[in-house]
Chains A and B, each alone.
Chain A
Amino acid sequence: MNRAAQLLLSDMKQVRRDPMLIFITVAPLLLVLALKYGVPLVSAQLVAQTGFDLTAHYGVLFGTSLLLIPLVIGVMAGLLMLDERDEQLIAYYAITPLSQEGYFIHRLTLPTLLSGIYILLAFIVVDFSAWSAGQYGFAFVMLLLEGPMMALLLTSFASNKVEGLAWSKLGGLLIFIPVLAYMLPEPWRWGAAVTPTYWVIELFVHNRTMQWNELELLLAGGIGLGVHLIFITVLYRKYARMIA
């Protein structure tokens, strides 16, 4: 069996033998189903009973839900990496032809693929006519980067798995901050623009019904991608120093 297939098989075995990892792997599917069936139902009930129109906030709701997918899967990858670091397995990979970089790429490939599948599924099953292809495109790339970013956040700052769990909770702030920003008036909400997650939600909340013009979209998408790449670069450098 070749290297990639054997590593993939081992990853699947690891997930199968850990109930928490099984849950994290299937949890995004439950989220997608809730978006598809739960949200319209709740929305209709809210309008009927309180007059509150949830559809006006679909952008932030959809963006936040989508962010949960890579962030949760990224936490899973981060915890696996912390386990492997605690057990000195990363040190062992470093002295095999796989190398430390190869290990890193492999470890983040599967979670990124898994996130990608669930995100696409969410794009497909949820009413996607409200957003343009450009919005979806930028959001998809940013969302794909969220998982590795979360995994790196855990492995760069936590020195063991217990600390990793604490950092994962702090990582939840990455979702809370843009939601808070959504509720703040201009220009205060721009304060949250330094967080990468802000830009994913911005793509979905801005002019939900009116399409963005190309320049605005390119600007928001470009800045968002830039913020993500800066975060990932800084975190990767810290991670590399930590395992050196």
Chain B
Amino acid sequence: MIEVNQLRFKYPRHKDFTLKGLDFHIPQGEIFGFLGPSGAGKSTTQKILIGMLKRYEGSVRIMGKQLKDHGRDYYNAIGVAFEFPNFYSRFTALENLDLFRSLYDVKTEEPKKLLARVSLEEYGHMKVSDFSKGMKMRLNLCRALMHRPDILFLDEPTSGLDPVNAKTVKDIILQLKSLGNTIIITTHNMNVAEEICDRVAFIVDGEIRLIDAPRALKVREGKKAVRLEYREGTALRQADYQLEGIGDNESFLRLLRNGSIETIHTQEASLDQLFIQVTGRTLT
């Protein structure tokens, strides 16, 4: 669906390239996450893919065609939800959706149905200025889905959402994937990436340092061991055991048998740890 080769980009009046030769392929129906600290080049990459930044070097093929050869029709095929929802604050949610829906040349969803999907059906006639951040984020998703795009670009899709609404949004994203949509997520949030992304790319200083499925990365880079927490009298103890030969490890089996274990965790790396390990940077 998206094939990017040797993508380089430099902002006018900047000395250095912001993107220094990115290569990645995203097949149809994949949820792909861009992870990286602020200023790493995630947003620049997204801006290029959605056609906002045009003077890039390298090859960007989307839906079988160079991005530069796509006309305005390209925007009927992509949906974008920016991190900061941008709406007419004096208009109601429905008035906003009606306005933006009129910009598309393809069949669009009924705005009321979309609002219902994100539990905003009761707020259709409320002015957007009276919406909370979380409500605006959900409205933002509605607008991105309105014209049934094949490719969806979501910037921090669960930012500002409570756990219930964050789950609603994640479920919608997974449902879209099951329908064959391709979804590109830009985020700082490792949990979101772990939960819903098929693959993630770590971007640092304009380069992709790692790219793979979250699970594969975690297993490959983590320790093949388990950590147990158990009670010995009143004291809480901790012990690590290598997975190899664990079934014959007497100490481990004894703890299992005497029932003093309170927690057992495999020691695969978390995406956070992995990120720090690979990049030497934190996700801030």
Are B91 and A88 interface neighbours, CB within 8 A? no
A190 within 8 A of B: no
- A13-B95, A91-B82, A92-B82 given as contacts; is B75 within 8 A of A97 (CB)? yes
A99 to chain B, nearest CB (A): 6
B80 within 8 A of A: yes
**What residues on B are CB-neighbors of A94 within 8 Å?**
52
- A10-B88, A97-B72 given as contacts; is B52 within 8 A of A91 (CB)? yes
CA distance A200 to B78 in the complex (A): 47
B135 to chain A, nearest CB (A): 16
A110 to chain B, nearest CB (A): 14
Q: Which one of A2, A7, A10, A89 has the greatest number of beta carbons of chain B within 10 Å? A: A10
Binds A, one of B97-105, B222-230, B247-255: B97-105
B73 within 8 A of A: yes
Are B86 and A96 interface neighbours, CB within 8 A? no
Closest chain A residue to B54, Cβ basis: A244
Against A, the Cβ 8 Å flags (1 = close, 0 = not) of B104-120 are 11000000000000000
The tally of residues in B whose CB lies under 8 Å from a CB in A reads: 25
A96 touches which of B75, B88, B95 (Cβ 8 Å): B75
B238 within 8 A of A: no
**What residues on B are CB-neighbors of A97 within 8 Å?**
72-73, 75-76, 103-105
**What residues on A are CB-neighbors of B82 within 8 Å?**
88, 91-92
Are A95 and B86 interface neighbours, CB within 8 A? no
**What residues on A are CB-neighbors of B91 within 8 Å?**
10, 13-14
Are A96 and B99 interface neighbours, CB within 8 A? no
Are A91 and B104 interface neighbours, CB within 8 A? no
CA distance A1 to B102 in the complex (A): 7
- A18-B90, A88-B86, A95-B75 given as contacts; is B102 within 8 A of A6 (CB)? yes
CA distance A94 to B53 in the complex (A): 11
Closest chain A residue to B76, Cβ basis: A97
**What residues on A are CB-neighbors of B86 within 8 Å?**
87-89, 91-92
**What residues on B are CB-neighbors of A93 within 8 Å?**
103
CA distance A7 to B238 in the complex (A): 65
**What residues on A are CB-neighbors of B95 within 8 Å?**
10, 13
Are B102 and A3 interface neighbours, CB within 8 A? yes
A2 to chain B, nearest CB (A): 7
Are B88 and A89 interface neighbours, CB within 8 A? yes
Are A95 and B100 interface neighbours, CB within 8 A? no
A94 to chain B, nearest CB (A): 6
- A91-B82, A97-B76 given as contacts; is B88 within 8 A of A3 (CB)? no
Against A, the Cβ 8 Å flags (1 = close, 0 = not) of B80-92 are 1010101111110
- A10-B95, A91-B52, A91-B82 given as contacts; is B103 within 8 A of A98 (CB)? yes
Question: Which A residues between 1 and 22 are near B, CB-CB below 8 angstroms?
Answer: 1-3, 5-7, 10, 13-14, 17-18
**What residues on B are CB-neighbors of A6 within 8 Å?**
98-99, 102
Question: Which B residues between 39 and 87 are near A, CB-CB below 8 angstroms?
Answer: 50-52, 72-73, 75-76, 78, 80, 82, 84, 86-87
4 further contact pairs, Cβ within 8 A, besides A7-B102, A99-B75 = A13-B95, A87-B87, A95-B52, A97-B72
A-B contact pairs, 14 of them (CB 8 A): A3-B103, A6-B102, A10-B99, A14-B91, A89-B87, A92-B80, A92-B100, A94-B52, A95-B75, A96-B103, A96-B104, A97-B75, A98-B103, A99-B72
